[in-house]
């Protein structure tokens, strides 16, 4: 009932103020400085109608969801990277006994990564995502949820988690320290949070050294305290006029000096609940591709899947995935139930680590009889050929990523 009333109210106010439009409004989407009209537009995208149009120029179109750069060379290192992990109330063992049944292979790559969009401070009370968010929420996941995120009950879990996102500071600086300690005790490396010059990581696997860095565009309504030594990487990535990327450039150079063969940049930015990135995000990713040592860019925060793009650079092809969507969550917004995870295959060619190919795996979060499962979207599509929701998600995928 509350959801229905909220949708009616937001829809009425949006029409009254002239907020709905076919093309997205570009704005920083930072609650620190969001105007009333921008807040209403944000609510309209979430509660009423997705703003679907965008600039499609330059995006990769993948007929088979697959791009091959060196088809005759076998992969020597496989990475799987998922999107956002969020502490929704439904993510409990009683709802998730079969959660990973169809997606166990996600944890079978040499390196597995994702964005942990919540503190895990087990010394404090959990604070889970409500179905309807009417104010700034402070998240705090619990041990049970983290076990589900990590492939409950019989998976190796993650090798690295990005911690730089708009909920990083929800439990304060002590919460960031406790979360990092919690993960490190489980042999999970982290990036985006830590002491100066320690907010990145390198994973040494199969003779490859893969570096990870991450940044967030905001901390919601909170401001970072720059005097705190243990902190989060924050840059105004969503500013329409653009932002300096010198910090990203310096961090990538630091990784190279420490021996990284290949660098993954994980950026929490862009506008939520729309299937295309804004022009500022496209320019930002292009600059990072050409001006830094980052080799593959992973975007998060929009909660919808968004296109991929390839930049031809002096260091070889740099692929940017603007948004992988919500990997583990259960949002009331149906388009958030479709996500992708990336399979990135690398090999050493002439003593240089290069991208051999990458593959897109489509996921669907299904809630049926109070059981939550992460499913292969291709299987769901075959099972439910006349389902309007599944048809809409297939159309979303066609619009943004593939013509198939």
The predicted model gives 205-231 an average pLDDT of 94
DSSP 78: E
Query: Which residues have CB under 8 Å from 218's CB, separation 6+?
Result: 28, 30, 31, 32, 166, 234, 236, 238
Share of the chain above pLDDT 70, in %: 94
Say what the pLDDT of residue 65 is. Answer: 59
DSSP annotation string for 375-390: EEHHHHHHH-TT-HHH
Say what the pLDDT of residue 250 is. Answer: 97
Share of the chain above pLDDT 90, in %: 72
DSSP annotation string for 88-130: BTT-STTT-TTTTTT-GGGGGSSEEEEEE-S---TTS--BPBP
Say what the pLDDT of residue 385 is. Answer: 94
Above 60 in pLDDT, residue 118? yes
> Is residue 87 within 8 Å of residue 118, measured between CB atoms?
yes
Say what the pLDDT of residue 278 is. Answer: 87
Say what the pLDDT of residue 154 is. Answer: 81
Bridge pairing between strands 316-321 and 308-313: antiparallel
The predicted model gives 204-208 an average pLDDT of 96
Strand segments, DSSP code E, in 177-236 are 189-191, 193-194, 201-205, 208-216, 231-232
53 confidence band (pLDDT: 50, 70, 90): low
- Domains of the chain and CATH, by start: 2-47 (no CATH), 66-400 (3.60.21.10)
Q: What is the pLDDT of residues 58-78, one digit of tens each?
A: 677 665 557 889 989 999 999
The predicted model gives 12-39 an average pLDDT of 80
pLDDT: which is higher, 139 or 38: 139
Mean pLDDT of the chain: 91
Above 70 in pLDDT, residue 216? yes
Above 60 in pLDDT, residue 56? no
Least confident of 73-87, 270-284, 370-384: 270-284
Say what the pLDDT of residue 333 is. Answer: 86
Say what the pLDDT of residue 245 is. Answer: 98
Instruction: Report if pTM > 0.85.
Output: yes
> Is residue 192 within 8 Å of residue 206, measured between CB atoms?
no
CB atoms within 10 A of CB 9: 13
Say what the pLDDT of residue 404 is. Answer: 65
Above 60 in pLDDT, residue 55? no
The predicted model gives 160-168 an average pLDDT of 97
355 confidence band (pLDDT: 50, 70, 90): very high
Say what the pLDDT of residue 25 is. Answer: 77
The predicted model gives 84-90 an average pLDDT of 95
Say what the pLDDT of residue 19 is. Answer: 76
pLDDT: which is higher, 401 or 252: 252
């Amino acid at each position: 009932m509350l959801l229905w009333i909220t949708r009616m109210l937001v829809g009425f106010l949006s029409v009254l103020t002239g907020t709905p439009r076919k093309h997205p409004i570009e704005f920083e989407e930072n609650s620190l400085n969001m105007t009333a009209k921008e807040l209403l537009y944000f609510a309209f995208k979430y509660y009423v109608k997705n703003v679907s149009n965008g600039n499609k120029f330059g995006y990769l179109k993948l007929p088979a969801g697959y791009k091959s750069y060196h088809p005759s060379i076998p992969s020597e290192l496989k990475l799987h990277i998922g999107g956002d992990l969020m502490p929704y109330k439904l993510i409990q063992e009683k709802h998730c006994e079969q959660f990973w049944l169809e997606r166990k292979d996600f944890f079978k790559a040499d390196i597995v990564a994702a964005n942990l969009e919540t503190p895990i401070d087990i010394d404090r009370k959990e604070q889970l995502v409500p179905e309807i968010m009417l104010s700034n929420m402070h998240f705090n996941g619990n041990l049970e949820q983290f076990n589900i995120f990590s492939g409950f009950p019989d998976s190796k879990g993650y090798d690295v988690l990005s911690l730089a996102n708009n909920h990083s500071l929800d439990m304060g600086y002590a919460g960031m320290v406790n979360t990092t300690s919690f993960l490190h005790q489980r042999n999970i490396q982290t990036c985006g949070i830590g002491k100066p010059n320690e907010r990145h990581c390198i994973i040494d696997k199969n003779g490859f050294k893969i570096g990870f860095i991450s940044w967030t565009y905001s901390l919601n309504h909170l401001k970072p305290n720059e005097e705190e030594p243990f902190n989060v990487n924050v840059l105004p990535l969503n500013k329409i006029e653009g932002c300096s990327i010198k910090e990203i450039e310096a961090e990538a150079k630091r990784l190279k000096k420490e021996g990284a063969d290949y660098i993954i940049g994980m950026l929490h930015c862009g506008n939520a609940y729309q299937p295309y990135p804004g022009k500022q995000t496209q320019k930002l990713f292009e600059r990072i591709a050409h001006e830094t040592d980052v080799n593959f860019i992973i975007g998060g925060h929009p909660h919808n899947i968004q296109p991929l793009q390839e930049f031809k650079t002096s260091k070889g092809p740099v692929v940017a995935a603007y948004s992988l969507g919500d990997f583990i969550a259960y949002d009331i917004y149906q388009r958030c139930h479709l996500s992708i995870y990336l399979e990135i295959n690398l090999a050493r060619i002439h003593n240089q680590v290069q991208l051999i190919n990458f593959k897109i795996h489509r996921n669907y979060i299904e809630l049926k009889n109070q059981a939550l499962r992460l499913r292969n979207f291709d299987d769901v599509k075959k099972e439910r050929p006349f389902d309007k929701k599944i048809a809409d998600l297939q159309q979303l995928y066609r619009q943004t990523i593939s013509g198939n």
